A = this chain, B = another copy of it.
Amino acid sequence: MNSKKYNMWLQYQPVTDSKVKEQYQLLLDQVCVIGDGIQLQAAKEELLVAVPQMLDKKFNVSNDPYNSRFVIGNKIKLAQHLDESKQAKLADKNEEAFLLSSDEKQLIITGNSDVAVLYGVHHLLRLMQLHADITQLDIVEQPKNQFRMLNQWDNFDGSIERGYSGRSIFYQNNQFAEDKTRIKDYARFLSSVGINAISINNVNVWEEETYFITKKYLPEIQEIASIFRTYGIKLYLSINFASPVTLGDLDTADPLDQNVQNWWKEKTKEIYEYIPDFGGFVVKADSENRPGPFTYNRDHADGSNMLAEALEPFQGKVIWRCFVYNHLQDWRDRSTDRARAAYDHFKPLDGRFHENVILQVKNGPMDFQVREPVSPLIGAMPNTNQMIEFQVAQEYTGQQIDLCYLIPQWKEVLAFDTHIKGEGTTIEEIVAGNIHHNKYSGVAAVSNIGDDENWTGNTLAQANLYGYGRLTWNPALTSEEIAKEWIRQTFGTNQEVLDTIEDMLLNAWEIYENYTAPLGVGWMVTPGVHYGPNIDGYEYSKWGTYHFADRDGIGVDRTKETGTGYTEQYQEPHQSIYNDLDKVPDELLLFFHHVPYKYTLKSGKTVIQHIYDTHYKGYEQVEGLIEQWNGLSNDIDRERFENVKNRLERQLENAKEWRDQINTYFYRKSGIPDQHGRTIY
């Protein structure tokens, strides 16, 4: 496939600006590739695809650095071509750092490793797609985060848990995809934005997937690992904690049992025979019916350390998810608070985890809602490796039908100052490893791709995948910068397209929040599906997800005095801010407090009027998005235009249902009419 929708942000459209083109043509007549590492080969391949397309000319590979204007290679191979100042620039940087250096006569891309050069090449191609001047480059970049990971929630049967873009590109009907083209192209896209780790199967490891770590499937996984390796991406597998039992070898999976420990050691050794640079295990244990150490009266440290010991000789990691809570809660029980669960479970274990265990903590205490406070667990375990987990897949944020550009949400999370080690202890610095200086840290996220030709269902949802990579590489980038970059590369140079889509993207999260669950209360979605409104859908459920709306008011009291005490999991000043009705930010009010419908927000509106206003507004804003998009009908190719148009129309239907159900529900309950007398059913 080589369609515009398929190519996402690697369109490599011909450069039409003649001056720019001339400049590029001059420097990029040929490339001299010094070295033969596989990632260097991938860089070369990418150039051979991109440059001829963009510059409408032949583009050759040369072996002669002295007669080449364009030279790439890692800093060892290129040593004699790098003066001291250039060498110095890379000296204190990490393995993935690259250098782009140019003048009118020569362009050098080098780096501290081959994959760094690949990143540098992608950076050049990005600059070229943005029509930047490439004759005065002096760019040194290294990724701020060590782990920049994606989790595929793909099942072996080809379905994808929380997938909204078709079926798996990895599996079909309990077989590995025979044609690996899409896997390779996915790796290209990921490496272009700096992703360096991937787990390729669902964290819910079902029966047959349990066998992924056996001879039955390792040869095929080996092949996939080598595709990703070419692009600098380490392969991980989600494993079933009960594997020793499920695979039929033992009658226990007790992590303190010597036989179990040996079993995992042997098993791990076997995996590394197939994949010498295997990343390690991703584990969802004792969570939502998945097996784990609790079965044997052991804890998460026991469970993860046992796996860590098996992986340690090979430098493998255990990525242990902290999404642990009582999913069989009685809705009548108000003493249990799901928001508390991750912290309550893991915080006491700080210091007990091995050096190659990394805890993966969701960004919020609940589950990827449109609005949640930041998880108080992140940064709260100074002696434990942690990664934050985002969700690129729009599970609760419109399922790639509705537009929801998530970078602003993630930016807000990263900017949150936990005060765990005083002011400036932001999530951004914590996950970058700059606060606790643990061995490993970083970012993971659930992928949003499938085998839809455009990868992400809604073409505009490609921006979230792009932005996830860019942001984890460089969290200093703004949402606007990332949007601009993505739009230019994806849709070209038309200024109206650029401005319009940028505006659409930047407002999308707020719009989605406006017409869905209000003021941080979350969850008013159709159970199971998680799309569309169902205000009481989770109210009498086992999932710990309640809003407690009655005729007088709504919200969850999580204060220390009268509520669940969840606020105490935060450092000051957050503890006091969240705990205090007068200080809590409006957008999180109902997450922390139960208030009357007539309670006045800091905005000056009552809660009920805020609900009405945001829901009418949200719907109108979607109408606005449609109008904006329709204005681009002549500026965007038909296929991508129609794809987004169709999704926006479905979004409008969804917004209408949300608006009317939310407003009707709260009007029926509160009896308080809309100040503006708009229609409520």
State the majority secondary structure of interface residues on A.
Answer: loop
A644: min CB distance to chain B, Å? 26
- Given A332-B660, A533-B540, A535-B536, the answer on whether A551 and B681 have CB atoms closer than 8 Å is no
- Given A332-B681, A551-B551, A681-B331, the answer on whether A540 and B671 have CB atoms closer than 8 Å is no
Interface stretch (choices A241-249, A274-282, A661-669): A661-669
Please give me the residue from chain B that is nearest to A532 by CB atom.
B540
A550 touching B331 by the CB < 8 A rule?
A: no
Q: How far is it, in angstroms, between the C-alpha of A540 and the C-alpha of B659 when the chains are bound? A: 12
The A632-678 residues at the B interface (CB cut-off 8 A) are: 657, 660-661, 664-665, 667-671
Contact mask A533-549 → B, CB, 8 Å, 1/0?
11111001000000001
Within the complex, which residue of B533, B552, B665, B668 is in contact with A671, where a contact is CB–CB below 8 Å? B552
Q: How far is it, in angstroms, between the C-alpha of A216 and the C-alpha of B87 when the chains are bound? A: 79
- Given A331-B681, A332-B660, A332-B681, the answer on whether A669 and B540 have CB atoms closer than 8 Å is no
A532: min CB distance to chain B, Å? 10
A551 touching B668 by the CB < 8 A rule?
A: yes
Within the complex, which residue of B331, B332, B552, B657 is in contact with A540, where a contact is CB–CB below 8 Å? B657
Q: How far is it, in angstroms, between the C-alpha of A660 and the C-alpha of B330 when the chains are bound? A: 11
A669 touching B671 by the CB < 8 A rule?
A: no
The A603-658 residues at the B interface (CB cut-off 8 A) are: 657
Q: How far is it, in angstroms, between the C-alpha of A331 and the C-alpha of B665 when the chains are bound? A: 12
A668 touching B540 by the CB < 8 A rule?
A: no
Most buried by B among A533, A536, A549, A660: A536
A370: min CB distance to chain B, Å? 20
What residues of B have a CB within 8 angstroms of the CB of A550 in the complex? Answer: 667-669, 671
A454: min CB distance to chain B, Å? 30
The A522-569 residues at the B interface (CB cut-off 8 A) are: 533-537, 540, 549-552
Please give me the residue from chain B that is nearest to A664 by CB atom.
B540
Interface residues on A, range: 20 to 34
Q: How far is it, in angstroms, between the C-alpha of A667 and the C-alpha of B537 when the chains are bound? A: 18
What residues of B have a CB within 8 angstroms of the CB of A533 in the complex? Answer: 540
Q: How far is it, in angstroms, between the C-alpha of A506 and the C-alpha of B669 when the chains are bound? A: 38
A661 touching B540 by the CB < 8 A rule?
A: yes
What residues of B have a CB within 8 angstroms of the CB of A681 in the complex? Answer: 331-332
Please give me the residue from chain B that is nearest to A657 by CB atom.
B540
What residues of B have a CB within 8 angstroms of the CB of A661 in the complex? Answer: 540
A80: min CB distance to chain B, Å? 71
Most buried by B among A549, A551, A665: A551
Please give me the residue from chain B that is nearest to A669 by CB atom.
B551
A551 touching B657 by the CB < 8 A rule?
A: no
A614: min CB distance to chain B, Å? 19
B549 touching A668 by the CB < 8 A rule?
A: yes
What residues of B have a CB within 8 angstroms of the CB of A671 in the complex? Answer: 550-552
Q: How far is it, in angstroms, between the C-alpha of A550 and the C-alpha of B537 when the chains are bound? A: 17
Contact mask A571-590 → B, CB, 8 Å, 1/0?
00000000000000000000
What residues of B have a CB within 8 angstroms of the CB of A536 in the complex? Answer: 534-536, 665
Q: How far is it, in angstroms, between the C-alpha of A671 and the C-alpha of B537 when the chains are bound? A: 21
Q: How far is it, in angstroms, between the C-alpha of A416 and the C-alpha of B537 when the chains are bound? A: 38
A239: min CB distance to chain B, Å? 33
Q: How far is it, in angstroms, between the C-alpha of A196 and the C-alpha of B536 when the chains are bound? A: 46
A590: min CB distance to chain B, Å? 16
Q: How far is it, in angstroms, between the C-alpha of A669 and the C-alpha of B553 when the chains are bound? A: 10
Contact mask A61-90 → B, CB, 8 Å, 1/0?
000000000000000000000000000000
Q: How far is it, in angstroms, between the C-alpha of A657 and the C-alpha of B533 when the chains are bound? A: 22
What residues of B have a CB within 8 angstroms of the CB of A537 in the complex? Answer: 534
Please give me the residue from chain B that is nearest to A552 by CB atom.
B671
Please give me the residue from chain B that is nearest to A667 by CB atom.
B550
What residues of B have a CB within 8 angstroms of the CB of A332 in the complex? Answer: 660, 681
Please give me the residue from chain B that is nearest to A668 by CB atom.
B550
Q: How far is it, in angstroms, between the C-alpha of A23 and the C-alpha of B471 when the chains are bound? A: 93
Q: How far is it, in angstroms, between the C-alpha of A332 and the C-alpha of B665 when the chains are bound? A: 12
What residues of B have a CB within 8 angstroms of the CB of A549 in the complex? Answer: 668
A336: min CB distance to chain B, Å? 13
A672: min CB distance to chain B, Å? 10
What residues of B have a CB within 8 angstroms of the CB of A657 in the complex? Answer: 540
Q: How far is it, in angstroms, between the C-alpha of A331 and the C-alpha of B681 when the chains are bound? A: 9
Q: How far is it, in angstroms, between the C-alpha of A36 and the C-alpha of B52 when the chains are bound? A: 91
What residues of B have a CB within 8 angstroms of the CB of A540 in the complex? Answer: 533-534, 657, 660-661, 664
Q: How far is it, in angstroms, between the C-alpha of A504 and the C-alpha of B515 when the chains are bound? A: 50
Contact mask A359-382 → B, CB, 8 Å, 1/0?
000000000000000000000000
What residues of B have a CB within 8 angstroms of the CB of A552 in the complex? Answer: 671
Q: How far is it, in angstroms, between the C-alpha of A479 and the C-alpha of B671 when the chains are bound? A: 46
The A118-154 residues at the B interface (CB cut-off 8 A) are: none
Contact mask A512-525 → B, CB, 8 Å, 1/0?
00000000000000
Q: How far is it, in angstroms, between the C-alpha of A135 and the C-alpha of B176 when the chains are bound? A: 76
A551 touching B331 by the CB < 8 A rule?
A: no
A82: min CB distance to chain B, Å? 66
What residues of B have a CB within 8 angstroms of the CB of A331 in the complex? Answer: 681
Please report A residues at the B interface, Cβ cutoff 8 Å.
331-332, 533-537, 540, 549-552, 657, 660-661, 664-665, 667-671, 681
What are 27 A-B contacts defined by CB distance under 8 Å?
A331-B681, A332-B660, A332-B681, A533-B540, A534-B536, A534-B537, A534-B540, A535-B536, A536-B536, A536-B665, A540-B657, A540-B660, A540-B661, A540-B664, A549-B668, A550-B667, A550-B668, A550-B669, A550-B671, A551-B551, A551-B668, A551-B669, A551-B670, A551-B671, A552-B671, A668-B669, A669-B669
Supplied contacts A534-B540, A535-B536, A540-B661, 19 more A-B pairs, CB within 8 Å? A331-B681, A332-B660, A533-B540, A534-B536, A536-B536, A536-B665, A540-B660, A540-B664, A549-B668, A550-B667, A550-B668, A550-B669, A550-B671, A551-B668, A551-B669, A551-B671, A552-B671, A668-B669, A669-B669
